[in-house]
């Protein structure tokens, strides 16, 4: 009968929790009603839809009147009620409950033992979406999005997996290796063939995979260098979300927030391998780059699918290039998934266009670390800020070096009245922005470097002044 959200009535004050502390209003189950009795009470479109759904799942549907006796409910697996009136629904629900039958009452969540979710059925692959009765419209919208994302031949892929299920389980007793085989089957060459319509070719590839296991060949894993974006999980790419769901292990930066790690598969191993500014001075250990690269190589050689999850974009001050080089030098497969880099995400979040027809014709990304000692860089940057048509500097990891950034730019001739903005925790719920002038940069940054302050980006140039116009508070006094 498609998926049915069966759960006992929620007792007052009771919270059902799953891993991670999330509260679940209903327990999602797929309920086999093949050959079983399902009672449908009432007439009209809602009752007809429920009767048709139950029949499509193989149930024996019994249509009864609103005043049906208790005997008509006995032995039923479930009852659907849609009489059209509150009085009729309530009376039928009481009779069904007296017969010990779980009940769904159309559009009356308070009377339901289980709710009927929005359903995507793609040739036997079924997805159920529930909002706990809060918004059927939202569930319908989500159903549309899932339908658009699922390949048309996904059911054929499920049938391929069913064909080899018994053989794989018999040949691969180790759960981790078995999971690796299934991941390769449903997201590798065999999957691509079956989705393209070549089921015979897909079976040959699957047999080859099984043969490799039979000969005890240890498969090599793969590393994916993935950008996590600036912090908002909704800014993850579709590919990034897919890989988080497939990974055996996720080696993540310290700056990747819990909201993004929450998109990972429940049993994926989460390994923090990052470090933050000031840790070394405070004696807090962090991973050296060489050690992290060695860990990536070790895990891929062991056959794991590894996601190296990096804040922002892996190739914008993320050292992703070094990790790719290490994996390629070891002869291991690697892919790169870009992310929304901090300059783009943070600027957009506070309404700052990094380029603007009247104010800035170009933008330069620069690291604030090393503001001391690179004397040749800052005169060139200052010159760009003064160019006709304007220029924007996006300075990463610059809050702790704000005084040095200010002094280098001022010494190189940048006007002290040049607008600046500091965006902390850009795109996240605790985002903060300070706007002022270059001369005030160190004072502005002081509020973004205290205690457990989050990552900050400095934007220098005429466009920085537009943050206030976008409705952001002007925290600096401009005179």
- Which positions are annotated as active-site residues? 253, 275
Residue with tokens 């927030």: 257
Give phi and psi for 229, each to the nearest 5: 75, -175
For strands 103-105 and 78-81, give the pairing: parallel
The residue with tokens 């995507």 is 120
**What is the token pair recorded at 396?**
């990463």
Task: Tell me the C-alpha distance between 220 and 301, whole Å.
Answer: 5
Interatomic CA distance for residues 199 and 193, integer angstroms: 7
């Amino acid at each position: 009968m498609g998926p049915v959200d069966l759960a006992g009535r929620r007792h007052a004050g009771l919270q059902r929790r799953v891993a991670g502390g999330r509260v679940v209003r209903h327990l999602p189950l797929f309920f086999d009603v093949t050959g079983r009795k399902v009672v449908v009470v009432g007439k009209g479109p809602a009752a007809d839809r429920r009767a048709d759904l139950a029949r499509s799942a193989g149930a024996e549907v019994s249509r009864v009147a609103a005043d049906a006796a208790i005997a008509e409910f006995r032995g039923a697996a479930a009852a659907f009620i849609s009489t059209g009136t509150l009085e009729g629904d309530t009376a039928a629900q009481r009779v069904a409950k007296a017969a010990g039958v779980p009940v769904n009452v159309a559009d009356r969540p308070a009377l339901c033992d289980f709710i009927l979710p929005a359903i995507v059925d793609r040739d036997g692959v079924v997805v159920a979406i529930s909002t706990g009765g809060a918004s059927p419209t939202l569930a319908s919208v989500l159903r549309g999005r899932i339908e658009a994302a699922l390949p048309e031949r996904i059911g054929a892929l499920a049938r391929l997996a069913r064909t080899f299920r018994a053989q794989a389980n018999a040949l691969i007793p180790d759960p981790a290796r078995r999971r690796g085989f299934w991941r390769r089957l449903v997201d590798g060459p065999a999957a691509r063939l079956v989705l393209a319509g070549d089921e015979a070719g897909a079976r040959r590839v699957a047999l080859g995979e099984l043969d490799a296991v039979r000969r005890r060949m240890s498969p090599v894993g793969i590393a994916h260098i993935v950008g996590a974006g600036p912090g908002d999980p909704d800014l993850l790419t579709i590919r990034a979300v897919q890989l988080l769901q497939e990974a055996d292990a996720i080696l993540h930066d310290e700056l990747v927030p819990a909201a993004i790690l929450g998109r990972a598969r429940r049993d994926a191993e989460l390994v923090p391998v990052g470090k933050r500014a000031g840790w070394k001075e405070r004696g807090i250990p962090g991973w050296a780059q060489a050690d992290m690269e060695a860990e990536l190589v070790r895990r891929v050689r062991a056959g794991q699918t590894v996601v190296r999850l990096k804040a922002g974009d892996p190739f914008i001050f993320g050292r992703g290039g070094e990790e790719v080089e290490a994996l390629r030098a070891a002869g291991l497969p690697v892919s790169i998934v870009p992310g929304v880099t901090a300059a783009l995400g943070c600027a957009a979040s506070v309404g700052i266009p990094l380029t603007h027809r009247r104010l800035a014709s170009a933008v330069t990304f620069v690291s604030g670390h090393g503001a001391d000692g690179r004397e040749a860089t800052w005169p060139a940057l200052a010159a760009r800020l003064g160019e006709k048509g304007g220029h924007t500097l996006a300075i990463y990891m610059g809050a702790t070096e704000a005084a040095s950034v200010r002094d280098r730019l001022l010494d190189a001739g940048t006007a002290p009245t040049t607008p600046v903005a500091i965006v902390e925790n850009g795109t996240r719920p605790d985002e903060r922005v300070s706007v002022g002038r270059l001369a005030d940069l160190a004072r502005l940054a002081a509020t973004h470097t205290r205690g457990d302050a989050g990552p900050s980006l400095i934007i220098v140039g005429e466009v920085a002044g537009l943050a206030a116009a976008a409705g952001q508070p002007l925290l600096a006094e401009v005179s």
